[in-house]
Amino acid sequence: MTDGYRAAVVGATGAVGNTMIRVLEERDFPVRKLTLLASARSAGKKLQFKGQEIRIEELDENSFKQIELALFSAGASVSKLFAPIAASDSCVVVDNSSAFRMEPGIPLVVPEVNPYDVEKNAGIIANPNCSTIQMVVALKPIYDEVGIKRIVVSTYQAVSGTGKRAMEELSEQIRAIVDGKTIENEVYPHQIAFNCLPHIGKFLPNGYTEEEMKMVNETRKILGDPHIQVSATTVRVPVYYAHSETVNIETRKKITAEQVRALLEKAPGVKVLDDPEKFIYPMPLAATGRDETFVGRIREDTSIENGIDFWVVADNIRKGAATNAVQIAELLNEKKLIKRK
């Protein structure tokens, strides 16, 4: 592997960082040396990569001198501070945080949707929000065929999107209920076990949450169409992995459910599961650990002239984060956009 890159994962101990390491391995991304970076708290811990133990190093401003490619997943404040340092050291950054997504000049990329956008990068490429990624993967073939005027989306989001502590909190609450003990909550403002919280991210003055507005703004940027109208409601449900979404769209021209199914069946990264009478439809449990975006329940919505309804599910930690980031790295590699040091 002497022809691979000197790569780094920043935030290696988090749910996404951990999966980035797994996905680099699974997809056999060309890595000559993998550096794992994290906060002082995690430095010294060891993680496995391709059978080797790698000691986690503390992230600082000198971390990127030797690194050619860095995948960041350590939160927006870490990215804001360190991604520009990495970029100025000629290390190309794929950033999973929200820090740069809406910055003009920073590409926001889903490889199945807007791969060409990676080319105009100034050292940082943003990985979109999980709930946006799976929706645009499913929308892109329809958008290209008939155009899309408006999207109404409701989400059913897994606790892993909040991080490891949220997953533990759900498990602890379930165990407390089974054992008849007091239920505690710390990560979420209310119990998540056997509940639904219509609350993901901060509330904004317009009444929508940050998560909901990400779906509006990121969809426009990724599809390169500021005229697409999006209304989103994002909801946390007691599921560990994989986000589900009901998507209702108004297209510019008429398209049938059959045509949508045919388009999606040949779309990259999409797996159509749509034989409901045989109980075949996407579900978060079945999407867990998978890299595809699963689409089903495709039907014509006759409540408007050109309407389509569907249900889309993807593993939020994989396609919604780690896998998409590694796919961006693959694109950068193909297009020879990673500089050797």
Residues that bind a copy of itself in the complex, under the rule CB under 8 A: 150-152, 154, 156, 174-175, 177-178, 189-191, 194-199, 203, 206-209, 216, 229-231, 233, 235, 237-240, 244, 246, 248, 257, 276-277, 279, 281-286, 296-304, 307, 309, 311
Q: Which residues of 118-155 are buried (b: 16+ CB within 10 A; e: fewer)?
A: beebebbbbbbbbbbbbbbbbbbbbbebbbbeebbbeb
Long-range contact pairs involving 275-282 (C-beta distance under 8 Å, separation at least 24): 281/311, 282/244, 282/311, 282/312, 282/313
Closest separation in Å from C-beta 260 to a copy of itself: 11
Closest separation in Å from C-beta 297 to a copy of itself: 5
Using the minimum distance from each CB to a copy of itself, give the nearer residue, 121 or 132.
132
Closest separation in Å from C-beta 176 to a copy of itself: 10
Q: Rounded distance, CA 4 to CA 240, Å?
A: 34
Strand partners, 102: none
Strand order in the sheet with 69-72: 57-58, 31-38, 5-10, 69-72, 92-95, 124-126
Using the minimum distance from each CB to a copy of itself, give the nearer residue, 122 or 196.
196
Catalytic one of 91, 130, 190, 199:
130
Using the minimum distance from each CB to a copy of itself, give the nearer residue, 43 or 235.
235
Q: Rounded distance, CA 250 to CA 306, Å?
A: 5
Closest separation in Å from C-beta 245 to a copy of itself: 9
Catalytic residue check, 243: yes
Using the minimum distance from each CB to a copy of itself, give the nearer residue, 102 or 286.
286
Nearest to 267 by CA among 124, 99, 142: 142
Catalytic one of 91, 196, 199, 243:
243
Catalytic residue check, 130: yes
Annotated catalytic residues are 130, 243
